[in-house]
Amino acid sequence: MVNLTTLDLLLSSLFILLLAFLSYRHRVKLEKKILFSSLRAALQLLFVGMVLQTVFNYNSIYLVATISMLMVLLAGYEIQARQQRRFLGGWGYLNGTVAIFISSMATALFALLFIIEYDPWHHPQYAIPLLGMLLGNTMNGISLGMDRLTSSVWQQRRVIEARLAMGESADSAIRNLRDEAIRTGMIPILNSMAAAGIISLPGMMTGQILAGAAPLEAVKYQIMILFLIAGGTGLGVMAAVSLSAKRVFDSRDRLRLERIS
């Protein structure tokens, strides 16, 4: 593998500077966000790289478990932060965190124990990158699904209340909105699978090829990852949207918009 130098990274950052300049020149007003986001991403990745190097050296299941839980909690926070309309009292954070924990952890454990079968199964070289890919994609799906649901409920509150007044149950009154929210949350991963290999080369496959892996072996890993991400994202989106759909009603099937800010 070709090792990158600091100069190589600085050269790649020229495109960020160009993008920020064009934003300033055309008064798009995104230059500060572009520069801040780029700097934040670089610092975060460098920090993570140093942390992972330490974790790899120790190979402790307790360190892996601690980092995994921290990643899940941060993913739950990002899910809540991306909502245009949020549940009050921390319910949005709880719904997203529980859903992403169950789906991503279950999928990652299944892959480590029954597919990869590395000894030990919790080796950070496999466990942490795999969980990170699952969390990142599942987080995006859950964020989109929950945001679509709460926004749709707020916009169509009169329709829902009318259906409840006509005798429909809460589940029936919100079913269409819930199904649309689940479809919205699944769009990114479905698009990724549809474009993989024809329009784009997925990140993991590209990284392995650049690192010197045989193309067919890289393809096998990428297929496995895509299937795991699709399964984890689907389970997470369905769980989060279903929990959120129940939260907008009380025990007597009455719509409670005061629970959404």
pLDDT tens, 167-194? Answer: 999 999 999 999 999 999 999 999 989 8
Q: Are 31 and 67 in the same domain?
A: no
Torsion angle, alpha carbons of 207, 212, 67, 186, to 10: 30
Task: Name the pLDDT band for 66 (thresholds 50, 70, 90).
Answer: very high
Same-domain pairing of 71 and 38: no
Into how many domains does the chain fold? 2
- pTM, two decimals, is 0.85
Give the residue among 173, 146, 154 at the shortest CA–CA distance from 256.
Answer: 154
DSSP annotation of 118? -
Scanning the chain, the segments in alpha helix (DSSP H) are: 6-12, 14-25, 31-58, 61-81, 91-110, 124-155, 157-165, 170-195, 203-210, 215-247
Digit-coded pLDDT (tens) for 9-32: 999 999 999 999 999 999 888 999
Q: What are the tokens at 233?
A: 């994202």
Of 17, 43, 58, which residue sits at a domain end?
A: 58
The total number of residues written for the chain in this structure: 261
Judge if 25 and 68 occupy the same domain.
Answer: no
Cα 198 to Cα 89: distance, rounded to the nearest angstrom: 45
Residues 172 and 101 in one domain: yes
* Same structural domain, 238 and 254: yes
User: Do residue 80 and residue 28 come from a single domain?
Assistant: no
Mean pLDDT score of the chain, rounded to an integer?
Answer: 90
The pLDDT > 90 percentage for the chain reads 59
Answer yes or no: do 85 and 191 share one domain: yes
CA distances (Å), 140 to each of 134, 137, 238, in order?
10, 5, 13
- pLDDT, tens digit, for every residue of 72-112? 999 999 998 888 888 888 888 899 999 999 999 999 999 99
| Mean pLDDT in residue range 40-60 | 88
Q: Residue 119 gets which letter from DSSP?
A: S
Domain hosting 41: range is 1-58
Domain end, chosen from 35, 58, 81, is at 58
